[in-house]
Amino acid sequence: GQQVMQIPQYQHVQEGEDFTTYCNSSTTLSNIQWYKQRPGGHPVFLIQLVKSGEVKKQKRLTFQFGEAKKNSSLHITATQTTDVGTYFCAGREGSNYKLTFGKGTLLTVNP
Amino acid sequence: GAVVSQHPSWVICKSGTSVKIECRSLDFQATTMFWYRQFPKQSLMLMATSNEGSKATYEQGVEKDKFLINHASLTLSTLTVTSAHPEDSSFYICSALSGTVYNEQFFGPGTRLTVL
């Protein structure tokens, strides 16, 4: 079945440093979504990427979808303490609504 | 925006009892809802897809007789953990498909189940 791998599992940075998490699917995806889960909270939708090679930005966050639609990345510029949380990618195959989540990357930021 | 609620937010029960968790879409109708389980510091694992008016579709390895799902209306899905055991202790999260262009899944706040 479909597998979505995400690295790194943990990342600790100093405030102001950049952060990147990578996601790789075993199969071609129709789209990929990114979620953020704060400690003790539930996943919150950040963005969806659909097109091959797509790049989207949300303030300090940059999301990319690979040309082959099998990998994606989330890059945060100049991290802040409010960025702390676990970032999950979730991929969808074909027209199936089901999402397969990566294991997530836990980001901690040292002020 | 789309809001999904879950009730209860946490529950402690004795081994062998059954627990019902409700998932409601508050300001939109959801023909499809999903139930996930998340163990501490782990990812979300899809348990089943709940479709209004029809039987749920369970993922491989999930016992349908143990985790009963009912999606009786367009705004409510329930998950009943029957004869709960300590290994069922987990964070159960539902999500509802918004049906917009992006087909976003909006997640409920989760239910923390502890089985003693």
Tell me if B93 and A42 make a contact (CB, 8 A cut-off): yes
Query: Which residues on B lie below 8 Å from A97 (Cβ)?
Result: 32, 49, 97, 103
How does residue A24 score in pLDDT terms, banded at 50, 70 and 90?
very high
Closest chain B residue by Cα to residue A103: B43
Residue A92 has pLDDT above 60, yes or no: yes
What is the pLDDT at residue B60?
Answer: 92
| Cα B93–chain centre separation | 5
Q: Which amino acid is at B62?
A: V
Q: A7-25 in b/e burial notation, b at 16+ Cβ within 10 A?
A: eeeebeeeeeeebebbbbb
Q: What is the pLDDT of residues B2-54, one digit of tens each?
A: 789 999 999 999 999 999 999 999 988 888 899 999 998 888 999 999 988 88
Tell me if A98 and B42 make a contact (CB, 8 A cut-off): no
Do residues B107 and B4 make contact, with C-beta atoms less than 8 angstroms apart?
A: yes
Among A104, A108, A111, smallest CA distance to A43 is for A104
Among the partner-chain residues B46, B102, B110, the one whose CB lies closest to the CB of A48 is: B102
Residue A43 has pLDDT above 60, yes or no: yes
Residue B109 has pLDDT above 70, yes or no: yes
What is the pLDDT at residue B52?
Answer: 84
